[in-house]
Amino acid sequence: MIKAKEPFRFYTRLHLSELTGLRAVTLGQLLKLIKRVPGSCIYHHTHRFLQQHQYLSPEPPNDFAYWVTEVLGEDRLGERLASIDTVQFPTIHSLREKIINAIEEYLRERPFSRIKFANEGEAFHFVKSASFVMPTKYISNNLFEFAEVLKKITIDSIYFHIFESRLRLEKHTNDFSNWLEDSLGEKDLADEISHLDPYTHTMEDLRETIVNLIEKRLLKED
Amino acid sequence: MPRLEEYISIVGLSIIDDLKLLSEKLKGKVIQNINSTSVGGGVAEILNRMVPLLRELNIDAKWEVIKGGEDFFEVTKRFHNALHGREEEITPKDFDIFMEVSQRNIEDMKLYGDIIFVHDPQPIALVKNKSRIPDSKWIWRCHIDVSNPNMRVWNFLKEFIVQYEASVFSSPSFAQRLPIRQFLISPSIDPLSDKNKELPDNIIHSVLKKYGITKDKPIITQVSRFDYLKDPLGVIEAYRRVKKYIDCQLVLAGGTATDDPQSEEVLNKVKEKAGKDKDIHILLIPPKSDMDINALQRAATVIVQKSIKEGFGLTVTEALWKAKPVVASAVGGIPLQIKHKYSGLLCHSIDGAAFAIKQLLNSPSYAKKLGENGREHIRQNFLLTRHIRDYMLLFLSMYHNEDIVYL
């Protein structure tokens, strides 16, 4: 078994939701606020659903898509927002731009949609995420240990290494692929993992997929 | 009382490991909780579980209770109702009584925490003492639905709220325009309590027998106190619309002996509306019968929560944790728990409720899937362990202002 140049330390990231007091009851207001809320708000509303509903549909809509569809009844816009390919956007800034463009384009086609009101009690409330990153006690020195830890670590930890590092901390790939390539020379495996679209897996499914890829690689070694 | 280790089989070892990691970061900090009562009510219930578990995590958590006489609590009860948006006459004398008692507590209560965690409006004025404890961090925890508060009461309290470092609310819709940080922390249920723990079939059967219910036809159940805001009359109406097509029974279970004078009136109206229908069971559950509630929820085919207004809706949490298909109004904290067609069905009217109930009774496999999804959603987000984690993060955020904190 090849020993890694640098051991992999698993971190975890926990988040606490912070209220902003900002709310929208029309699509026009939603758009205006999406343009000016902090990046941690955009992050929250495009990633929360994924984390809080990880056992459910493997294609989780973001909060904007959900609200526009379920509350305003704008199904077409909802579909456009839900299908935004989050994985392609390297920064929150570019993701925000994409969301803004989708809504603006839709409003140009259907100007009356701007003034449709949400029912009482169904306003969109902007929330942001405060993230706390900390090292766990789990460390792996080789591929075998890595797979073993992956099986038992929290979903929050997997989430941190796959999503948080890539998008919010603006690294270009996920931490797992980074380490596999740099410290173990496992370029193929690293590529396979970075080519997964993590936004279309449930978190448990993602864990299983990555563990399977590593175990397949370990079998070859035997 | 269950120990932390006992939660491992429910949430997994790694979640408990995270709690231990977090607690190390709070080493040496004294957390002083303050509320108005040590028994009865939701806040005391939470603190009774939370404080021992925090201590088990080696966090120095304390709990103090303010003193107040009958008129004080009479006033704060009316404040409470007014904050909920109910019509209440609040006189200048009420504010005087509130301030008088608060002043006595300000003088008498020993304050020593690094973090002083004040629950609900009753002890809110203690913050006037803040300057006496240098470097103390003050957090106000609001357990009330303040989405549409009586502004006179809210503005009165706001004078105190703004002196805190942070506030905590249970639902995004309770957020206010405030110059201090506002956190969102949902309440939780304890999966090991009598109300939520697994029950063997024989206990469920004996509870049904006790209340005269047989399982020969599907059971639609709503567990709620008899209050117009829980719309028990609407539930009977929805049941009747379902009954035209599917032979079923209705259980309306709620507590007696509340301090709400209206409950008697509502109960009479419910009985009147139910008439002679033998398939409607109106059950008055005596206090401290958590296991009965548990059994009634577990025996239900579909659980309904057709509230007109709701705080967080912990009865929905309890139902989902038991993997029950739920039909509930989209009010208060309910939409946080139910995503329509994923983990239950949301409704906005009697017709909507009736339609959703019929759908679930006619499609058991769909109903089962919603229930299972609901249970996992609660496991991830609304159990006591998550609540403890959020509180520890809240305490830590008193020492960090950044969006991303490296511990």
**Domain presence at residue B195:** no
**Is residue B341's pLDDT more than 80?**
yes
Cross-strand bridge partners of residue B184:
A17, B169
**Is residue A40's pLDDT more than 50?**
yes
Per-residue confidence band for B260, with pLDDT thresholds at 50, 70 and 90: low
Separation between Cα atoms, residue A207 and residue A197, nearest integer Å: 13
Shortest CA distance to B208 belongs to which of B336, B300, B335?
B300
**Domain presence at residue B402:** no
Please give, rounded to a whole number of angstroms, the shortest distance from the CA of A69 to a CA of chain B: 11
Per-residue confidence band for A58, with pLDDT thresholds at 50, 70 and 90: very low
Determine whether the interchain pair A125/B175 forms a contact, defined as Cβ–Cβ distance below 8 Å.
yes
ipTM attached to this prediction: 0.86
Residue B40 to residues A9, A33, A198, B49, B188: CA-CA distances in angstroms?
46, 42, 46, 13, 17
**Is residue A59's pLDDT more than 70?**
no
Is there a single domain that holds both residue B167 and residue B278? no
**Is residue B125's pLDDT more than 80?**
yes
Is there a single domain that holds both residue B212 and residue B181? no
Determine whether the interchain pair A52/B404 forms a contact, defined as Cβ–Cβ distance below 8 Å.
no
CB-CB neighbors (< 8 A) of A136 in chain B? 17-18, 21
Is there a single domain that holds both residue B136 and residue B257? no
**Could you give the angle at which helices B151-161 and B70-83 cross, rounded to 10 degrees?**
110
CA angle centred on B164, ends B160 and B167, rounded to 5°: 100
Is there a single domain that holds both residue B215 and residue B350? yes
Report yes or no: B162 at the A interface, CB cutoff 8 Å.
no
DSSP output for B334-352: HHHH--TTTSSEEESSHHH
Please give, rounded to a whole number of angstroms, the shortest distance from the CA of B77 to a CA of chain A: 24
What tokens does B95 get? 């504010």
Question: Chain B residue with minimal CA distance to A61?
Answer: B339
**Domain presence at residue B403:** no
CB-CB neighbors (< 8 A) of B390 in chain A? 16
Q: Looking at residues B326-330, what average pLDDT do you find?
A: 96
pLDDT tens, residue by residue, B165-199: 999 998 888 888 899 999 999 999 999 999 999 99
**Is residue A186's pLDDT more than 50?**
yes
**Domain presence at residue B235:** yes
CB-CB neighbors (< 8 A) of A78 in chain B? none
**Domain presence at residue B407:** no
Separation between Cα atoms, residue A50 and residue A198, nearest integer Å: 10
Q: Which residues contact B91 (CB under 8 A, 6 or more apart)?
A: none
Where do the structural domains in chain A lie, given as residue ranges? 8-13+134-221, 14-128
Q: What is the CATH number of the domain that holds B363?
A: 3.40.50.2000
Q: Which domain holds residue B174?
A: 4-188+383-397
Is there a single domain that holds both residue B81 and residue B224? no
Is there a single domain that holds both residue B393 and residue B371? no
pLDDT tens, residue by residue, B282-323: 999 988 899 999 999 999 999 999 998 887 899 999 999 999
Write down the H helix ranges in B275-313: 290-299
How many interchain CB pairs under 8 A, A with B? 113
Question: Chain B residue with minimal CA distance to A126?
Answer: B172
**Domain presence at residue B220:** yes
pLDDT tens, residue by residue, A85-95: 877 787 889 99
Number of domains in chain B: 2
Taking a C-beta distance cutoff of 8 angstroms, is the pair A155, A167 a contact? no
Question: Chain B residue with minimal CA distance to A129?
Answer: B403
Mean pLDDT value across chain B: 93
